[in-house]
Structure 1
Amino acid sequence: MKKIQYLYSLLSMCLIALCFQSCDKGVLDIDKVQEHLDVQASSSEIVLDGENLKDDIITFNWEEARAMSDDYIVSYTTKLDVVGNNFGSSTTILSYEDDGVFSRSFTSEQIQNWANEKWKLPVNQPFTLQFRVVAQWEGGPTFEAPEVRTITVQVQPIKTVVFEANNVFLGGSAVPGMTRVEINKTLENESQYAYFLDLEAGDLEIPVEFNGATNYICPTSLDGSLEDSVAVAVNMLENPIPWKIEKAGKYRIVVNMQKATVTIYSPDKALNPAVVQWTLDGIMQTTTVNDIWEYGEPTGWAWREGNWKQSAADPQLFVYTGPALNGRTKFGVYPINQSYVYTGNNTASNTSVSHGTTYDLIGGYAANERNAYFSLPSGTNFIVLDIRNKTMLANKK
């Protein structure tokens, strides 16, 4: 019995040895693939050129991948993205290269546009490009692993003029005490800033703070000569080009960020309030219009004041921001029924109003004007009366 057990043990060990031997014969080492693909950039750092947008600013060249038999067909794919996107499908600039092409170039315009529109990068912030080349084979008797190479390039974008502001100021030697004065948005237009102030002879600068940086609104002509009462085209620069204020006096400064213009009114071409005449008990009255009252259904047929503000951009423009008005309404220059009024017609009728639509503004003190009304829709809590241009705009905000 012991002899049989011994024979079984010996046989088992022999079978195990044979299995190991057969396994050793079945495992073959795979030769390491000698990859040849190599990628080079024309520069490791670039500054996008705003003066030559359509010229190539960066070129990537690569060496051919390893040679294979004619049974295989090799193709090259290139990808461009920024670090952090991981060559995602929505962010990658993908190109399938033609046979025999081992180079890919990009212009300043392309990279700048992709940075702003495709990659949504912060304005004026440096970033890092990633360029990748993938060589892969099709056909042949066996699978061939692709070759992949990636390279990075530091990019300084084109400095973009941003006509946005957290704060807008007036400064320079023309401002008394040379202390910067902050100017505010106008009620009638959130893209417009205006201020009426005393200036001295000297230089007038318009600094703008946005996202922690300070730039200056400057005339595009680079000439600081005052073009009195003219809307001058401007841009944003890192260093000031001041306007020359030749004589002291009250000046009105209007900065329109949307139109990229600055209008400066000197005392010689000052914007003045409207002046109207009307009769009271047979006596002619002359009123300089610096305030407005509303009257009609929303006020219980009584004159009401205190809800109008005169625009800093133009003293003939008034903005209402009070309680919501609804129904027949007119606007007067004095709280009495015989006063000069502004309304929608001179036919003693009602002018139906829709929010967001501009209407003609009619002024007068005859019965046909005094008995005419704007029919304001429910919720009207924002009105712009432009006396100079004879328009009225009502809205709900």
Structure 2
Amino acid sequence: MNAGKINFPVHFGDEENAIGPETVDATPTLGEMPAVITDRSDANYWIIPEADTYRITINMNNQTVKIVAAGAVVEADQVFLAGSAVGEQVEMTQTLENENVYAWRGELSSGSLYIPFTFEGEQKMAAVPMQNGNHDINDGQSSSFTQVTTNTAGASRYWTIPSSGVYRIVLNKEEKTVTIYSDKTDLQPKTISWNNTTLGINPYKTTIEKLYMYGTFNAFDHDPGAFTGYQDKFNLYPSLADPCVFVYKGDALPRSSQKDERGNVVQASVKFAVDNHNNNVYAFGSTADAKRNDHNGYITAKLGVEEKMVEGQSHNRYAYFIIPEGCNFVVVNVRNNTVLFDKK
């Protein structure tokens, strides 16, 4: 549509009415707007600020109108990768830690890349660079994207993958950004060095591939054959968007009570270990004051509040978090040493 005024004429029998806003010359919002049906000669208008492709939805039952520029809001049930760099379309994965973030990692060929959105069974729009034509991927840098029709994207507006290789692609549909990492800039998992007393190797190097919860929260229950306190159903696994972000999302975590290392009964304590064969392992604990063979420390976490962690194999192993009631979602960032307990 061009810039200007718009309402929606309604013909019924010999009546000439129109659907318009409640006020004169209304400015469209991104949401559903109240609408009224009046005589066409009296109907108000919405003001379209600039020429663009718009999606218009009229809901007669709710008496609302939605006028959204194609690039203003990302509407997507699924997100795909397409173009000559991909071949047959492949679906991106919605991340557990953020429902607005989609990620993918795998092999791409040199060639074009655009990102179609499937919404309500149709694939009309796609994420593309902000400017017309083909564009560099800005390797490893977050870039804003806009939306055009999928046909336009495939024909004339896309990113160019410079060479064949492994790429990680992360899209945030709320912030309307995309980051394309080549193997030169890709995010790397965290590698640590510690004293593995189980294997008798010191220093022992580990690339963190998962995290294990340990504490009184599960009454030190354990899987068959596993060390006391470790259950795989409470493991945290890396995000496809960032290998240093680990996520648990599932049933509400138990908040059992049990004696801690000092013989005190403590409810719902937890820390995050890199190995499940012993409790004397490299771990991520709280910032509470603690000292081995002297006293444990505890920080009471709150839902939705990010907490700092302390990593290592020293006194921090005796510094725990107290899990908030109802928590079924935990995000641990081992790059920034933060943890979020929440309810989703």
The interval holding the TM-score normalised by the smaller chain is 0.7 to 0.9
Deviation at 1:338, TM superposition (A): 1.4
Kindly indicate whether the alpha-carbon contact (under 8 Å) linking 1:346 and 1:362 is maintained by their aligned counterparts in 2. no
Q: What are the Cα deviations for residues 339-375 of structure 1, in whole angstroms up to 9, with x where unaligned?
A: 1111212632111101011111221111x11111011
**Structure 2 residue aligned with 1:226, among 121, 137, 142?**
137
Distance between the aligned counterparts of 1:345 and 1:228, measured in 2?
Answer: 36
Name the counterpart of 1:379. 326
The AA in structure 1 aligned to 2:230 is W
The AA in structure 1 aligned to 2:254 is L
Deviation at 1:256, TM superposition (A): 0.3
**Structure 1 residue aligned with 2:164, among 248, 251, 259?**
248
Name the counterpart of 2:287. 345
Q: Secondary structure of 2:135's match?
A: coil
**Structure 2 residue aligned with 1:365, among 305, 310, 313?**
313
Distance between the aligned counterparts of 1:351 and 1:115, measured in 2?
Answer: 41
Distance between the aligned counterparts of 1:365 and 1:284, measured in 2?
Answer: 12
Name the counterpart of 1:332. 273
**What are structure 1's unaligned runs of at least 5 residues?**
1-46, 50-55, 59-79, 96-105, 121-127, 134-149
**Structure 2 residue aligned with 1:195, among 100, 104, 115?**
104
Distance between the aligned counterparts of 1:347 and 1:114, measured in 2?
Answer: 49
The AA in structure 2 aligned to 1:226 is I
TM alignment of 1:84-99, pairs within 5 A: 93=22
Q: Secondary structure of 1:203's match?
A: strand
Q: Secondary structure of 1:377's match?
A: coil
Distance between the aligned counterparts of 2:30 and 2:206, measured in 1?
Answer: 59
Kindly indicate whether the alpha-carbon contact (under 8 Å) linking 2:20 and 2:44 is maintained by their aligned counterparts in 1. no
Q: Secondary structure of 1:384's match?
A: strand
In the alignment, does 2:122 pair up with 1:215? no
In the alignment, does 2:213 pair up with 1:294? yes
Distance between the aligned counterparts of 1:114 and 1:248, measured in 2?
Answer: 40
The AA in structure 2 aligned to 1:341 is A
Tell me which protein shows more helix as a share of its residues.
1
Distance between the aligned counterparts of 2:343 and 2:126, measured in 1?
Answer: 35
Label 1:131 to 1:308 Cα distance change in 2 as closer, same or farther (>3 A): same
Deviation at 1:57, TM superposition (A): 4.3
Kindly indicate whether the alpha-carbon contact (under 8 Å) linking 1:271 and 1:315 is maintained by their aligned counterparts in 2. yes
TM alignment of 1:120-199, pairs within 5 A: 131-132=40-41, 159=54, 160=69, 161=71, 162-175=73-86, 178-199=87-108
Name the counterpart of 2:263. none
TM-score of the superposed pair, with normalisation by structure 1: 0.64
Deviation at 1:299, TM superposition (A): 2.5
Say which one has the larger Rg.
1
Distance between the aligned counterparts of 2:141 and 2:270, measured in 1?
Answer: 36
Count of aligned positions: 282
**Structure 1 residue aligned with 2:236, among 301, 308, 319?**
308
Q: Secondary structure of 1:298's match?
A: helix
The AA in structure 2 aligned to 1:205 is Y
Distance between the aligned counterparts of 2:324 and 2:22, measured in 1?
Answer: 52
Label 1:111 to 1:370 Cα distance change in 2 as closer, same or farther (>3 A): closer
Distance between the aligned counterparts of 1:318 and 1:172, measured in 2?
Answer: 31
Label 1:361 to 1:129 Cα distance change in 2 as closer, same or farther (>3 A): farther
Kindly indicate whether the alpha-carbon contact (under 8 Å) linking 2:288 and 2:299 is maintained by their aligned counterparts in 1. no
Name the counterpart of 1:320. 248
The AA in structure 2 aligned to 1:214 is K
Distance between the aligned counterparts of 1:83 and 1:259, measured in 2?
Answer: 37
Distance between the aligned counterparts of 1:182 and 1:230, measured in 2?
Answer: 22
Deviation at 1:250, TM superposition (A): 1.1
Supply the RMSD in Å over aligned alpha carbons.
3.3
Kindly indicate whether the alpha-carbon contact (under 8 Å) linking 2:76 and 2:119 is maintained by their aligned counterparts in 1. yes
Distance between the aligned counterparts of 1:114 and 1:194, measured in 2?
Answer: 26
Distance between the aligned counterparts of 1:382 and 1:325, measured in 2?
Answer: 12
Distance between the aligned counterparts of 1:208 and 1:113, measured in 2?
Answer: 22
The AA in structure 2 aligned to 1:221 is Q
Label 1:300 to 1:244 Cα distance change in 2 as closer, same or farther (>3 A): same
Distance between the aligned counterparts of 1:203 and 1:92, measured in 2?
Answer: 43
Deviation at 1:229, TM superposition (A): 1.0
Distance between the aligned counterparts of 2:238 and 2:210, measured in 1?
Answer: 7
TM-score of the superposed pair, with normalisation by structure 2: 0.73
Q: What are the Cα deviations for residues 215-242 of structure 1, in whole angstroms up to 9, with x where unaligned?
A: 1101213452110111101111112122
Deviation at 1:316, TM superposition (A): 0.6
| Percent pairwise identity | 29
Q: Single out whichever of 215-224 and 378-387 deviates more from structure 2.
A: 215-224
Deviation at 1:132, TM superposition (A): 2.3
Label 1:57 to 1:271 Cα distance change in 2 as closer, same or farther (>3 A): same
Label 1:247 to 1:293 Cα distance change in 2 as closer, same or farther (>3 A): same
